Amino acid sequence: MNSPALDLVERLRTLAAALPADGSVTFSRADLEALTGLEPTAEPKADTTLADLTVEGLAEELRRSPSTVRGWAPQIDGAYRLGREWRFPRAAVRAWLDKQKEGPAERKAAGGPADLGSWRNVKGSDR
């Protein structure tokens, strides 16, 4: 009685013998499942965790409006424009959020003396 591993090796040897010397073979997952005798599995979900976030995606994750996220975009180091739309690398968002969690004392120590007139620079100020 042959083990499944030896049976697979024999199948692959047969396949290799039928190929020309410079030939190659590409297997789909379904082909490999059929070749190995494995049961077909469900399709894996697409992994989008590595993709940079859009304004809408970040707004949804942070439960804020897209206009709020657009206002934050210039403050997030690493955010960039792709055409007319902002994109946010997840690491940049994480670093920015961590910085926001710091208290005023930590922010002051990192940025030097406080600018008491900075309130004038707030967007939408009508003064």
Assess whether pLDDT exceeds 70 at residue 70. yes
CA atoms of 91 and 77, how far apart (whole Å): 10
- pLDDT band for position 49 (50/70/90)? low
Any alpha helices (H) in the chain, and if so which ranges?
Answer: 4-18, 29-36, 55-62, 66-72, 90-101, 104-111
Residue 86 CA to residue 79 CA, distance in Å, equals 7
The DSSP code sequence of 78-113 is T-EEETTEEEE-HHHHHHHHHHHHS-HHHHHHHH-S
Question: What is the distance between the alpha carbons of residues 43 and 74, in angstroms, rounded to a whole number?
Answer: 39
Q: From CA 12, how far away is CA 31, in angstroms rounded?
A: 12
- Residue 87 forms beta bridges with which residues? 54, 80
What is the radius of gyration, based on Cα positions, of the chain?
28
pLDDT tens by residue, 85-94: 999 999 999 9
pTM of the model as a whole? 0.46
Report pLDDT for 86.
Answer: 95
Q: What is the DSSP letter of 75?
A: G
Instruction: Give the per-residue pLDDT at 26.
Output: 80
- Region 3-19: what's the mean pLDDT? 78
37 or 2, higher pLDDT: 37
**Residue ranges per structural domain of the chain:** 4-36, 53-111
